[in-house]
């Protein structure tokens, strides 16, 4: 990572082709990057210390600012050790130690626990931890805390995060959250906020002047773009510090081979102790005069000179953030794009990127579903590293598989030298094939996995069962079920939920219910899987029983299940009850639920209610527009809704054009229908399907243009006409009494649907209206011969 910093440093203008020249030109950069590098002369060379230098992040924020959520997310994502000052004090009290008794008595007296006590607890945790990356939550709260930490621990934080949430938001969160204090009310909360401002703002101002403060003026969520940006920076700074220590050791070992390469100036520079360099980028920084800054720096040097402690590890300094100054990033993809471009530039300048950075970036690409950035990172990873590092190759394979690029994923899979160490790459590939509908390939991989002796895990079986369900092979699903039991996953709820879905989709709803009943601890997915299984089989009474049962057990159907049950029960009584339940649960504006409600209201003829819901939706997707257009397929408003859809920027899909062409057929709008059919092909590049041609035949047929409809079928259709197309033509012939074309359409349908008596009846009606009784008898005899 040292090469990257050198390439971005303003103090270095060019590269030298000589490695020695590169080394000399970057000594100052190493000095700023390395934390506590104590160089000891030993004979002909030097050695670097073996102690780990901690990477420390402080997280500050008032009560209810959301800092706890951010800490958990950072810990989960980047492997930091989470230390909470409050938790440490509570744990010490619970231990009944002498310090614990003292802490409890101090709190009972309404006094503040001495800073030295809290710092000692933090120091104890840091020294006993194998990790060297710490995120300290809610500390320091006061200037006394800060000074004590620096005096006893001997280091400054690398990053300080301050969540400056608006006061009204913090008050609202504290009043509403279940884990709030028992005595929380408006007055006590405001008092707590005032205490926080009085004690903590001096600390925040100090770190702002130091240049390592990151401030967010809004309440962050773990999925926010700003969180992604900050997390990437924390991980990036940490990786830079670790990589820089490694490179110093390498340079030291290399220089030991030839002491003549060390010039006196280089030796002097190597012996210089590192100084504190602030982060080069922050969000809020208070500017002071040069005189004040010099005075503060002098005071700090004097303090360090007279108060220098014995440290358990080398003194560290914040690592400079090497990302260039750019406008504030607004989206998560922008944050990712910024980091990827910086890495690309660094690789171009000859830097060797740490494997952890590649792994972290690929994980972010997967979370954001950004295949383009993943491909860019793939180009940067050295082929040899990709073959040997299972973690990087597995994450890249997963990204390709989830993006539907199965050829690239399988090619990468074949190149992995240690793919059998874990089920992870196998699971990713199986899942990718299953999601793409290539169920045979997914099952073949599972059997290959068994042959090569790779042990499946709890994530393997749901993917394989999805493939079994997709292809309808219940006997294969039963074999996988036996493997589930044999491998010890017979009680795993995650796997059993997949078994319910597999049996239901393969047609054995009884076994699906048996698996459901055997789940000891059912979750929402268990209930939803059983619910949708019953609905799929048309067992509506059982579905309602499951729906009521899951509510009684305290589980709430997810929006997909609610939408499914609404679309299955087109009963006004049931729809009204479910709508009322949705309103009580606050799901009334969930997009998928509202779409289903619009469809139900439309099907029941309550178009005013459907329109009322549609116009009040906060967000609309293409399904919303399709639902409202389909509901008005016999009304002129359908065309108006389609115009509004195009103006809104929502691109119509294939279903949209089925709905609008059907509306044109009912309205007799031939010109509008023809224009929309051309628009679909020319502007939106949607190839007509059978349903579109059936709508056009219906459009011409209802208008009495039987010849145009027939010519469309035999001359202009690019696919073979199916029953829906010939059926629309036969119906038009029965309405308008066209015997010749009706006979042709009837004969086609007899071949395509030999058991559909409705087609025979329509053709008999056509002949009967024309007085062709012999043909009526002929068609009737055909029905008798076919047992209809």
Q: Hey, where are the domains in the chain?
A: 1-325, 460-557, 694-788
Burial 7-36 (b: 16+ CB within 10 A, else e): bbbeeeeeeeeeeeebbbbbbebbbbbbbb
Q: At 215, is the secondary structure helix, strand, or coil?
A: strand
pLDDT at 628: 93
Q: At 511, is the secondary structure helix, strand, or coil?
A: helix
Cis peptide before 140 (omega within 30 of 0): yes
Query: What contacts 69, CB < 8 A, 6 or more positions away?
Result: 220, 221, 222
CB contact at 8 A, 277 and 317: yes
Tokens at residue 375, please? 């491909």
Tokens at residue 728, please? 């629309």
For 112, 408, 444, the CA distances from 393, given in Å and listed in that order, are 52, 12, 21
3-state SS string for 56-116: EEEEEECCCCCHHHHHHHHHHHHCCEEEEHHHHHHHHHHCCCHHHHHHHHHHHCCCCCCHH
Torsion of CA 103, 105, 107, 108, to 10 degrees: 160
CB contact at 8 A, 3 and 10: no
Tell me which residue has tokens 């074309």: 741
Other Cβ atoms closer than 10 A to 367: 14
Tokens at residue 365, please? 């690409």
How far apart are alpha carbons 311 and 151 in whole angstroms? 10
Supply the CATH classification number for the domain 1-325. 3.40.50.300
Report the alpha-carbon angle 683-687-689, nearest 5.
135
Averages of pLDDT over runs of 10 residues in the chain (788 residues) are 30 31 33 32 36 76 72 73 83 82 79 82 84 82 82 81 71 56 57 71 80 62 51 54 42 34 34 34 39 48 40 39 44 83 87 84 88 90 86 90 90 87 90 90 92 90 92 91 91 92 92 92 88 87 87 80 76 80 78 88 87 89 92 90 91 92 92 92 90 93 91 89 90 89 89 86 88 86 82
Task: Return the CA Rg of the chain.
Answer: 35
Tokens at residue 582, please? 């949705």
pLDDT at 718: 86
Tokens at residue 642, please? 């389609």
In the DSSP assignment, the letter for residue 237 is H
Q: Do domains 1-325 and 694-788 have the same CATH topology?
A: no
How far apart are alpha carbons 399 and 373 in whole angstroms? 10
How far apart are alpha carbons 433 and 426 in whole angstroms? 11
For 86, 166, 172, 175, 195, the CA distances from 183, given in Å and listed in that order, are 18, 22, 15, 10, 17
Catalogue the E-assigned strands of 663-779: none
pLDDT at 587: 73
How far apart are alpha carbons 712 and 274 in whole angstroms? 82
Q: What φ, ψ does residue 55 adopt, rounded to 5°?
A: -105, 115
Which candidate, 572, 555, 561, places its Cα nearest to that of 521?
555
Report the alpha-carbon angle 604-649-563, nearest 5.
35
Burial 249-264 (b: 16+ CB within 10 A, else e): eebbeebeeeeeebee
How far apart are alpha carbons 464 and 430 in whole angstroms? 7
How far apart are alpha carbons 697 and 710 in whole angstroms? 8
How far apart are alpha carbons 314 and 307 in whole angstroms? 15
Tell me which residue has tokens 């303090």: 303
Total count of residues recorded for the chain: 788
For 68, 73, 174, the CA distances from 221, given in Å and listed in that order, are 11, 10, 16
Query: What contacts 32, CB < 8 A, 6 or more positions away?
Result: 5, 274, 275, 277, 317, 319, 320
Q: What φ, ψ does residue 264 adopt, rounded to 5°?
A: -55, -35
694-788 has CATH 1.10.3470 classification: no
Q: What φ, ψ does residue 593 adopt, rounded to 5°?
A: -70, -45
C-alpha torsion sign, points 212, 213, 216, 222: positive
> Please, what is the end-to-end C-alpha distance for the chain in angstroms?
80
CB contact at 8 A, 65 and 164: yes
Burial 577-604 (b: 16+ CB within 10 A, else e): ebbeebeeeebbebbbbbbbbbbbbbeb
């Amino acid at each position: 990572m040292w090469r990257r910093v050198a390439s971005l440093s303003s103090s270095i203008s060019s590269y030298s082709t000589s490695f020695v020249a590169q080394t000399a030109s970057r000594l100052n950069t190493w000095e700023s990057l390395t934390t506590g590098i104590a160089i000891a002369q030993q004979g002909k060379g030097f050695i670097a210390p073996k102690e780990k230098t901690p990477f420390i992040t402080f997280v500050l924020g008032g009560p209810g600012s959301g800092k706890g959520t951010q800490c958990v997310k950072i810990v989960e994502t980047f492997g930091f050790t989470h230390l909470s000052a409050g938790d440490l004090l509570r744990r010490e009290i619970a231990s009944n130690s002498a310090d614990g008794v003292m802490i409890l008595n101090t709190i009972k007296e309404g006094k503040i626990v001495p800073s030295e006590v809290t710092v000692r607890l933090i120091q104890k945790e840091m020294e006993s931890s194998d990790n060297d990356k710490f995120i300290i939550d809610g500390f320091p709260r006061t200037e006394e805390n800060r000074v004590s930490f620096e005096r006893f621990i001997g280091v400054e934080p690398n990053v300080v995060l301050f969540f400056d949430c608006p006061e009204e938001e913090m008050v609202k969160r504290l009043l509403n959250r279940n884990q709030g204090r028992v005595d929380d009310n408006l007055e006590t909360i405001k008092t707590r906020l005032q205490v926080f401002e009085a004690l903590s703002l001096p600390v925040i101002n100090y770190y702002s002047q130091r240049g390592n403060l990151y401030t967010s003026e809004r309440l962050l969520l773990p999925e926010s773009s700003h969180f992604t940006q900050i997390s990437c920076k924390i991980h990036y700074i940490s990786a830079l510090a670790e990589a820089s220590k490694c490179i110093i050791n390498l340079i030291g070992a290399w220089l030991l081979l030839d002491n003549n390469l060390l010039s006196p100036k280089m030796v002097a520079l190597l012996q210089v102790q590192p100084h504190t360099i602030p982060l080069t980028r922050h969000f809020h920084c208070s500017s002071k005069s040069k005189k004040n800054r010099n005075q503060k720096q002098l005071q700090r040097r004097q303090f360090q000179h007279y108060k220098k402690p014995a440290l358990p590890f080398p003194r560290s300094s914040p690592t400079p953030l090497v990302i260039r100054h750019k406008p504030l990033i607004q989206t998560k993809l922008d944050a990712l794009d910024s980091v990827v471009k910086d890495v690309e530039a660094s690789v171009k300048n000859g830097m060797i990127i740490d494997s952890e950075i590649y792994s972290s970036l690929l994980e972010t690409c997967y979370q954001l579903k950004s295949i383009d950035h993943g491909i860019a990172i793939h180009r940067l990873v050295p082929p040899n590293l990709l073959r040997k590092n299972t973690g990087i190759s597995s994450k890249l394979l997963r990204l390709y598989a989830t993006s539907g690029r199965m050829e690239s994923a399988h090619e990468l899979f074949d190149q992995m030298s240690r793919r059998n160490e874990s089920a992870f790459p196998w699971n990713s590939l199986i899942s990718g094939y299953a999601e793409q509908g290539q169920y045979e390939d997914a099952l073949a991989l599972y059997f290959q996995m068994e042959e090569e002796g790779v042990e499946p895990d709890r994530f393997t079986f749901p993917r394989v069962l999805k493939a079994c369900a997709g292809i309808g092979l219940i006997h294969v699903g039963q074999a996988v079920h036996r493997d589930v039991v044999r491998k010890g996953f017979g009680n795993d709820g995650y796997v059993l939920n997949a078994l319910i879905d597999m049996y239901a989709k393969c047609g054995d709803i009884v076994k699906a219910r048996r698996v459901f009943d055997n789940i000891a601890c059912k979750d929402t997915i268990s209930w939803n899987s059983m619910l949708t299984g019953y609905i799929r089989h048309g067992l509506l009474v059982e579905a309602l029983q499951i729906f009521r049962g899951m509510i009684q057990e305290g589980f709430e159907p997810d929006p997909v299940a609610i939408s499914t049950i609404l679309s299955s029960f087109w009963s006004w009584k049931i729809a009204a009850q479910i709508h009322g339940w949705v309103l009580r649960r606050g799901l009334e504006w969930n997009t998928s639920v509202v779409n289903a409600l619009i469809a139900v209201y439309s099907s029941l003829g309550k178009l005013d209610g459907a329109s009322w819901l549609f116009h009040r939706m906060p967000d609309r997707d293409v399904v919303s527009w399709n639902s409202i257009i389909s509901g008005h397929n016999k009304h002129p408003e359908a065309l108006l809704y389609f115009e509004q859809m195009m103006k809104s920027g929502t691109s119509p899909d294939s279903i949209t054009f089925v709905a609008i062409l059907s509306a044109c057929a009912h309205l007799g709008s031939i010109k509008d229908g023809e224009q929309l059919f051309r628009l679909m092909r020319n502007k939106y590049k949607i190839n007509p399907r059978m349903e579109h041609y059936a709508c056009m035949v219906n459009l011409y047929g209802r208008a009495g243009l039987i010849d145009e409809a027939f010519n469309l079928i035999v001359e202009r259709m690019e696919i073979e006409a199916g029953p829906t197309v010939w059926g629309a033509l036969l119906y038009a012939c029965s309405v308008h009494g066209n015997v010749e074309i009706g006979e042709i359409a009837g004969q086609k349908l007899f071949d395509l649907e030999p058991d559909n008596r409705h087609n025979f009846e329509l053709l008999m009606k056509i002949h009967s209206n024309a007085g062709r009784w012999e043909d009526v008898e002929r068609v009737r005899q055909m029905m008798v011969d076919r047992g209809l």
